């Protein structure tokens, strides 16, 4: 079993780094050792785990199935090392949070710092796809996501819901209004996030339901760029309310006549949801239940 463990660890390192060379650096061994151990694993069980195309390697179906298992095996080994390092540095815990929205994760972190003063935080901001990949890879403990596809590997709890607001320049006709009808969008030049953005998808769905055509004049892949474009008078934009940064020269305006909101979720791996620190955070981050008045 010890021999198999070395072979499987080499396989996992190649699958994780997508390269035999990078795997050798990751495990601090020579590349020939990595190649020999992966080949030994494939020969022993008569299975092909990688397609090799020059320096590029790609998992076969068998390799993907094995990697789903090794993610758990070696991810928990990494977690054990982190615990020991945390104890060594006399910290009560390290919590690694990945998110798609800086304001949302900062809001959560601020609350957690007050509730758990002994915790050290490591925060990363990435796309939805990369944040999920980091969660599956045990690189982060909790993910804050705006969209979650059903996956039995995940434990998901609702976190917060925020309205989507329009953002205009301060000399725009909407600037002195607290809200405008959703239908007003059809008369405006809109600056939108790239396709696939959750904010864009929700807004387009709401407009489609009312037969409203959005006049998209520009696509940008960052909220900051959209804010600056609005301040320059290039058009109006849309963000979730918590993500609105009051850049001088801009104003946020609520949309009415439709429910245009974005939901955020806290996610952990199902196999780790009962780890004391993760469980505590998931429970403390869940919005309190409301009681209807009779």
The whole-number average pLDDT for the span 53-74 is 86
For residue 233, CA distances in Å to 98, 189, 268 come to 33, 10, 41
Our CA angle for 167, 219, 197, nearest 5°, is 80
Contacts of 182 (CB under 8 A, 6+ apart): 206, 207, 210, 212, 255, 256, 257, 258, 260
The whole-number average pLDDT for the span 170-199 is 90
The whole-number average pLDDT for the span 66-74 is 86
pLDDT tier, 2 (very low <50, low <70, confident <90, very high otherwise): low
The dihedral through the CA atoms of 135, 103, 252, 157 has a sign that is positive
The dihedral through the CA atoms of 20, 21, 25, 31 has a sign that is positive
CA atoms within 13 A on the CB side of 28: 0
pLDDT for residue 285: 61
What are the structure tokens assigned to 40, written together?
Answer: 């030994």
The whole-number average pLDDT for the span 79-93 is 61
3-state SS string over 156-188?
A: EEEEEEEEEEEEEECCCCCCCCCEEEHHHHHHC
SS3 290: coil
pLDDT for residue 41: 92
Q: Are 273 and 282 in contact (CB under 8 A)?
A: yes
- Please say if the pLDDT value at position 222 is more than 60: yes
Q: Contacts by 171-177 with C-beta closer than 8 Å and gap 24+? A: 171/233, 172/236, 172/251, 174/236, 174/251, 174/253, 175/251, 175/253, 177/253
pLDDT for residue 111: 85
The dihedral through the CA atoms of 32, 27, 97, 125 has a sign that is negative
Indicate the average pLDDT of the chain: 85
pLDDT for residue 76: 75
Q: What is the pLDDT of residues 108-140, one digit of tens each?
A: 888 888 877 778 889 999 888 899 999 998 889
Q: What is the pLDDT of residues 19-52, one digit of tens each?
A: 999 999 989 899 999 999 999 999 999 999 999 8
pTM > 0.75: yes or no: no
Contacts of 27 (CB under 8 A, 6+ apart): 9, 10, 13, 34
Question: H or E element: which one contains 141?
Answer: none
């Amino acid at each position: 079993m010890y021999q198999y463990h070395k072979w499987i660890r080499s396989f996992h390192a190649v699958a994780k780094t997508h390269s035999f060379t990078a795997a050798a650096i990751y495990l601090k061994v020579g590349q020939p050792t990595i190649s020999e151990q992966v080949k030994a694993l494939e020969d022993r069980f008569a299975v092909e785990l990688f397609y090799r195309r020059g320096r590029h390697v790609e998992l076969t179906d068998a390799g993907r199935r094995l990697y789903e298992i090794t993610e758990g095996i070696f991810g928990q080994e990494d977690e054990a090392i982190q615990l020991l390092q945390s104890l060594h540095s006399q910290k009560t815990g390290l919590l690694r949070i990945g998110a798609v929205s800086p304001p949302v994760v900062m809001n959560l972190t601020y609350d957690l710092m007050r509730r758990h003063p002994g915790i050290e935080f490591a925060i990363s901001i990435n796309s939805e796809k990369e944040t999920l990949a980091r969660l599956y890879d045990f690189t982060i403990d909790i993910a804050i996501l705006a969209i979650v596809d059903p996956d039995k590997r995940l434990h998901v709890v609702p976190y917060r819901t925020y309205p989507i607001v329009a953002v205009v320049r301060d000399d725009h006709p909407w600037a002195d209004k607290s809200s405008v009808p959703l239908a007003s969008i059809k008369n405006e030049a809109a600056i939108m996030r790239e396709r696939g953005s959750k904010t864009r998808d929700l807004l387009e769905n709401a407009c489609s339901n009312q037969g409203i055509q959005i006049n998209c004049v520009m696509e940008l892949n960052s909220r900051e760029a959209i804010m600056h474009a609005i301040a320059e008078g290039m058009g109006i934009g849309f963000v979730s309310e918590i993500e609105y940064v009051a850049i001088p020269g801009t104003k946020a305006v609520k949309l009415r006549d439709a429910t245009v909101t974005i939901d955020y979720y806290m996610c952990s791996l199902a196999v780790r949801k009962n780890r004391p620190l993760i469980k505590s955070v998931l429970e403390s981050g869940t919005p309190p239940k409301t009681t209807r008045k009779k």
